[in-house]
Each structure stands twice: as C-alpha cells, then as structure tokens.
Amino acid sequence: MRSLGESGRRDLGPTARVALDVAGRGAGALLAAVSAARGGKAVHPCGAVHRARLAIDGAPHAPQASDLLSRPGEWTVVVRFSRSLGLPRPLPDLLGASLRVLDAYGEGRHQDVLLVSSVDRPILHHVFVPAGDVQQRPYTCALPYRAGDDRFLIGLVPDPSSPRLSGTDELDRLAKAASTGRLRFDVAVARVNGRFRPVGTLHVGERMSPEVDALRFNPFNCGGGLEPTGVLNRLRDYAYPLSQAAWGRDEHRARAQETADAEVRRLAAA
C-alpha cells in the first residue's frame, strides 16, 4: 500500500503546496473531531463486510495502464456496505461500497476503492444520491483516478439478474441476497464525461464477522499504475489518516482495528 500525500504535491508551486497543507489539515482535523465525538468513524459509521471475488475481463475499453483493471484475472476481495451519514431508518441515506482487492500487486499490497451511491449519467456520477437498498443505485468514486494518460471514474453497478429479497433493512437484504451465491455487481469505468462500461464482475459472498467492520479503507492504498488524481483527492490524503488516527486513540477501538486487519490477513493467506 502507498500514500500519495508527498508525491502528489511535487507538481504544485510553493504557494499551492502551503494552501493544500492548510486545507488538508483543516479537513482532517474536522473529520477527526467528528470521529472523536461519535466514538467511531466520522462517516459510514456502521456497515457490513462481505467476502467477494473480483473477476476482471480484460475489456479493450479498460484503462490499459492499470494492471488491475486491464488484465484478465481473479482476486479475493472484501467489500463493506454502509450508511454514510447514519440517518435513522427507514430514511434513505448515502450508501457506501468500499472494496479492498487483496494482494492486488503482491503480498500485502492491496487496492482500495471507495464508492458512494449515485446515478449513471454524465456529470451526475460526480454527485452522491441517497438510496434505500444496496442494489438500488450504481456507486461512484465521484473523484477521478488516473492510469497513464487516462482520467476516469470507477463504479459499481448492480446486476439486474441478482436476487432481490425482503428483509428488515438494507444490510439484512444484502446478507440474504449474498447467501444465494448469485449477488453480482459490474465493476465499471467511465470517462469523466461518459457513462459506466463494465470491465469485470464482483461476486459478493458471505458476510464476515462483525469485528471486520472496523477495517480502515483509504483510496491511497493503490498501485499498479492506478491512483487517485486532482486537488480534492489530495485533500483526502490528509483527511483519512487523521480521522482514522482519532478513531483509533481509544484502546477498545484500536484493538478492533487490529482484529479487523488480522482477519483480512488471514483471508488473504487462505
């Protein structure tokens, strides 16, 4: 895994770097304060983590400079679905889907992708849209990635052939659909002004233990030619570590983070 905080600043002038430092640390401090007040994650406080399998097709329209997205192959994945703001049910919320592709670039070198419910329309897939079910809407990274000269968005689009079952809430319905072995999403890419086109399939499997919900995702866990780009993404590179560090200062929560990390290491080694 890697962080782009320093390398992502090298192409900026001195004044821009100072402004980025101030804005990034301010955003991080705000999220850290929210995390401390909540006694947990600043956003996406509660969710459910599932084992999954990612199959990449090698589609010709995939960004060719990304090893992960352009080359046919299969990887073990953990995917966390969550409510972003923690609004009371049955109100819809911004739903998140966070993926970790285990050992995507070698042992311990994972790829994280963080997505939020949206719509599959040009320009509008930069916008977050509430949903009441994990299969209701496509998900988007909203902020661009780059691979070589390509700039694009990554998305997760529900497969209409997947089972949609009744349940007490969106996570219960998710677990029931996953238990059938037929819950699938298209992993897709879109040019900044285009629509999502599939490059692979995410097969969602059984739910993991509740302890894994403490897993910490970061879009700058990346590699293989694929990385977030742009000033807003650089701000996230400050905000995520500060927020997660504030959440982990409590001894109980720090142990939960360690337990989640250990579970994922065991899954990767299996």
Q: What is the DSSP string of the chain?
A: ----TTGGGTTS-HHHHHHHHHHHHHHHHHHHHHHHHHTS-SSS-EEEEEEEEEEE---TTS-TT-HHHHS-EEEEEEEEEEESS-PPTTS-B-EEEEEEETTBTBTT--EEEEEEE--SSTTGGGS---BSSTTSS-EE--S-EEETTEEEEEEEEE-TTS-----SSHHHHHHHHHHTT-EEEEEEEEETTS--EEEEEEEEEEE--GGGGGPPP-TT--BTTBEE-SHHHHHHHHHHHHHHHHHTTSHHHHHHHHHHHHHHHHHHH-
23 compared with 191, residue with greater pLDDT: 191
Domain ranges, ordered by start, for the chain:
45-230+255-269
247 compared with 60, residue with greater pLDDT: 60
| pLDDT tens, position by position, 161-220 | 999 999 999 999 999 999 999 999 999 999 988 999 999 999 999 999 999 998 989 999
Confidence class of residue 6 from pLDDT cuts 50, 70 and 90?
very low
- The residue among 82, 59, 236, 69 whose CA lies nearest residue 153 is 69
pLDDT at 9 over 50: no
Structure token digits, residue 68: 């992960």
| pLDDT tens, position by position, 211-244 | 999 898 999 999 999 999 987 787 777 666 666 6
Confidence class of residue 23 from pLDDT cuts 50, 70 and 90?
low
Average pLDDT of the chain is 85
pLDDT of 17 = 54
| pLDDT tens, position by position, 130-171 | 999 999 999 999 999 999 999 999 999 999 999 999 999 999
CATH number corresponding to 45-230+255-269: 2.40.180.10
pLDDT of 74 = 98
pLDDT at 67 over 50: yes
Confidence class of residue 85 from pLDDT cuts 50, 70 and 90?
confident
Identify the weakest region by mean pLDDT among 53-67, 85-99, 124-138.
85-99
